[in-house]
Amino acid sequence: MKRRAVANPLALAVLCGLLLEPMHPYEMGRRLKETGKDRNIKYNRGSLYMVVEQLGKAGFIAEQETVRDTARPERTVYALTDSGRAELYDWMRELVARPEHEYPRFGVALSLLGVLAPDEAAALLGERLTALDREAADIRADTAAAKEQGVLWVFLIEEDYRLALLEAEHRFVTALIDSLKAPEYARAWRAVFEEGET
């Protein structure tokens, strides 16, 4: 992957937002929440302002104007520069076309799952299945509501992706629970862990 001048995913969201129109950081944050992008991109007000500053130093965005009104403090409106537009498209093409190994916490737990007794591991994974079902139901409800409001499917595609991942994980965890409950695994686990203690 290419080394980016500003590598925070929040920076990409800011560039995308400014592609539509110049805006103030507060407005950028409001739109991230409004469109549900904050489910995929972690941020807070401080990190948003820091990213805006970094993008400005990199030459990807520039101050367009300072807005003053009596009700609010002075606000700086930012616009996308030509180099910012080029960075946005280059970064998006890379992310869409090239898989990158990520390090999810569940992957860590799976790599070390053998330390848990089979019954306990199966029970904990059963709790995970319940949580996966709840999360999938929430996504289905949210996307259905958005589609009823006329949101174009492409603006909900990350939710379809999350749902596909949840469904795949559900299948995987269900099969894993069955494997953990197999008598031959319990015997093998006891041979390693319980006999090793004596």
In this predicted structure, what is the pLDDT of residue 37? 78
**Single pTM value for the model:** 0.76
Average pLDDT over residues 164-172: 97
In this predicted structure, what is the pLDDT of residue 198? 46
Domain end point (choices 46, 76, 97): 97
Task: Look at 41 and 78; give whichever has higher pLDDT.
Answer: 78
**Any domain includes 120:** yes
Poorest-pLDDT segment among 28-32, 71-75, 168-172, 175-179: 71-75
Domain end point (choices 97, 118, 142): 97
Do 146 and 93 lie in one domain? The reply is no
Poorest-pLDDT segment among 36-40, 76-80, 84-88, 113-117: 36-40
What is the DSSP annotation of 106-144? HHHHHHTGGGS-HHHHHHHHHHHHHHHHHHHHHHHHHHH
**Which residue's structure tokens are 């686990």?**
189
**Any domain includes 4:** no
Exposed, middle or buried, 139 (CB in 10 Å: 0-12/13-18/19+)?
Answer: middle
**Any domain includes 13:** yes
What is the DSSP annotation of 83-102? HHHHHHHHHHHHHHHS----
CA dist 143 and 155 (Å) reads 10
Indicate if the pLDDT at residue 70 is higher than 70: no
**Any domain includes 1:** no
Poorest-pLDDT segment among 14-23, 33-42, 120-129: 33-42
- Number of independent structural domains in the chain: 2
**Which residue's structure tokens are 């006999």?**
195
**Which residue's structure tokens are 């180099």?**
83
Do 130 and 185 lie in one domain? The reply is yes
CA dist 120 and 197 (Å) reads 18
Q: What is the CA radius of gyration of the chain?
A: 23
What mean pLDDT value characterizes the chain?
90
Indicate if the pLDDT at residue 19 is higher than 90: yes
Do 26 and 52 lie in one domain? The reply is yes
The parent domain of residue 120 ranges over 105-197
Domain end point (choices 63, 97, 131): 97
Do 91 and 163 lie in one domain? The reply is no
Alpha carbon distances (Å) from 127 to 121, 123, 173, 183: 10, 7, 11, 21
Task: List pLDDT tens digits, range 122-135.
Answer: 999 999 999 999 99
Do 83 and 52 lie in one domain? The reply is yes
Q: How confident is the model at residue 3 (pLDDT cuts 50, 70, 90)?
A: confident
- In the chain, the largest separation of any two C-alpha atoms, in whole Å, equals 77
The CATH number of residue 93's host domain is: 1.10.10.10
Do 93 and 159 lie in one domain? The reply is no
CA dist 186 and 179 (Å) reads 10
In this predicted structure, what is the pLDDT of residue 104? 87
Indicate if the pLDDT at residue 26 is higher than 70: yes
